[in-house]
Structure formats: C-alpha cells, structure tokens
C-alpha cells in the first residue's frame, strides 16, 4: 500500500541536513563542551534512520552505498589504533596529544588526537545503530 507522504518527504529533505549539521556540531563541540563522538554519532545515525523510514531501503542505499557493519568495525578499529599509536610512540596506551596550529581559514586552532578516537566512536555508533534498525526492519 502506498501512503500519501508528500509532506513527510518534503520536510525530510530539508530536515535531514539540519540533523546532519547538528550532529557534526555536537561531535566537534564535544572536545570542551557537552557532546562528543557518541552523541554526535547517535544524531548522525538518526538522520540516516529518518531517511530509511521515509524513503525505502533500496533508494537510500543507492545514495549511501556503504555496508554499515563494516563502518562499525572500521570505527572501532580506528579508535583502537589511535590508542595504539601512542603505545608505538613510547607513551602509555591511549595517551592523547594536542597542539595549536595556525590554519588558513580557521586561524589559530587547537587540534587534538582525541578527535580521531572520537571519530572512531562516532562511526561505530552510526554503523551499529543503522545495522540494528535495518536488521529489525527486514523481518517485518
């Protein structure tokens, strides 16, 4: 049965980008303020889930052709490796570093290795949430 969901589809097209932006904002602000990889990842994945709900799985898959299980595994591996890098450099495992750099557009910016770790967390969350939603929806 085809429902009439013009409003939902139209709104989604706009709202998805707002959610994605908010997700990235949460992710980046997590360094000093509330937020971080886990919450950011949850918000980002909620945008994807909204897409899956409004459009069907095949359509979304054409636009976002990733295997989300692999994304989850890659994310977790990225986090682990960012911790291992410290061990390779002779610091205790999971040691993080940071420094201030003068970037062209942003000006003086603090760059921290913990962002890599957090990116891994975010990817893991996205991968896991989408995988769970997709595998639940398949059987119904």
Partner 1 sequence: MNNILVLPMLLPLLTGFVLFFLRPSVKAQKIVSILSLLSLVAISGRILLQIRVEGIIRLDFGGWEPPFGILFVGDSFSALMVLTASVVSTLIILYAFTATERRMENMFFYPFAFFLVAGVNGSFLTGDMFNLFVCFEVMLLASYVLITLGGGKVRLAESMKYIAINVVASWFFLVALAFLYGTVGTLNMAHISVRVAEAGQGPLLSAVAVVFLIVFALKAGLFLYFWLPGSYSSPPGPIAALFAALLTKVGVYAMFRTFTLIFYHDEFILGTIIGTMAVVTIIGGCLGAIAYTDIRQIASYNVIIAVGFMVLGLAVFNEEAFKGSVFYLIHDMVIKGILFLIVGAMVYLTGKTKITEMSGLIRNYPTLGWLLFLTTLGLAGIPPLSGFIGKMYVGLGAVEGGNYFLLFIGFASSLVVLYSMLRIFMNCFWGETIINREDQRLFPARRLIPIALLGVLTIGIGVGAQALEPFVSDAARVMANPGLYIDAVFGEVES
65 vs 107 by CB, closer to partner 1: 65
Residue 34 and residue 18: Cα distance in Å, rounded?
19
Which residue shows structure tokens 């890098």? 85
Q: What is the nearest approach in angstroms of partner 1 to the Cβ of residue 65?
A: 17
Nearest one of 135, 127, 136, 134 to 42, comparing CA atoms: 127
21 vs 84 by CB, closer to partner 1: 84
Contact string (CB under 8 A) for partner 1, positions 11-50, x = contact: ----------------------------------------
Task: For residue 46, give every residue at least 6 positions away whose Cβ sits within 8 Å of its Cβ, in sequence order, or none.
Answer: 19, 23, 129
Site size with partner 1, rule: CB under 8 A: 18
Token readout for 125 is: 């969350």
R_g of the chain, CA atoms, integer Å: 18
Residue 33 and residue 36: Cα distance in Å, rounded?
8
Token readout for 64 is: 């976002």
Q: Which of residues 58-97 bind partner 1 (CB under 8 A)?
A: 69-70, 73-74, 76-77, 80-81, 83-84, 86-87, 91-96
21 vs 95 by CB, closer to partner 1: 95
Phi-psi region of 67 (alpha: psi -120 to 50; beta: other; left: phi over 0): beta
Q: What is the nearest approach in angstroms of partner 1 to the Cβ of residue 120?
A: 11
19 vs 126 by CB, closer to partner 1: 126
Instruction: List residues near partner 1 by CB under 8 A.
Output: 69-70, 73-74, 76-77, 80-81, 83-84, 86-87, 91-96
């Amino acid at each position: 049965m085809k429902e009439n969901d013009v409003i939902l589809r139209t709104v989604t097209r706009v709202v998805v980008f707002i959610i994605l932006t908010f997700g990235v904002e949460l992710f980046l602000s997590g360094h000093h303020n509330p937020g971080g990889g886990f919450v950011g990842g949850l918000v980002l994945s909620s945008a994807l889930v909204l897409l899956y709900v409004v459009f069907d799985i095949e359509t979304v898959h054409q636009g976002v052709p990733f295997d989300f299980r692999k994304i989850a595994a890659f994310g977790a591996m990225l986090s682990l490796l960012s911790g291992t890098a410290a061990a390779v450099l002779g610091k205790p495992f999971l040691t993080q570093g940071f420094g201030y750099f003068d970037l062209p557009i942003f000006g003086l910016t603090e760059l921290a290795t913990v962002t890599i770790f957090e990116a891994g967390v975010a990817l893991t969350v996205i991968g896991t949430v989408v995988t769970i939603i997709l595998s639940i929806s398949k059987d119904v």
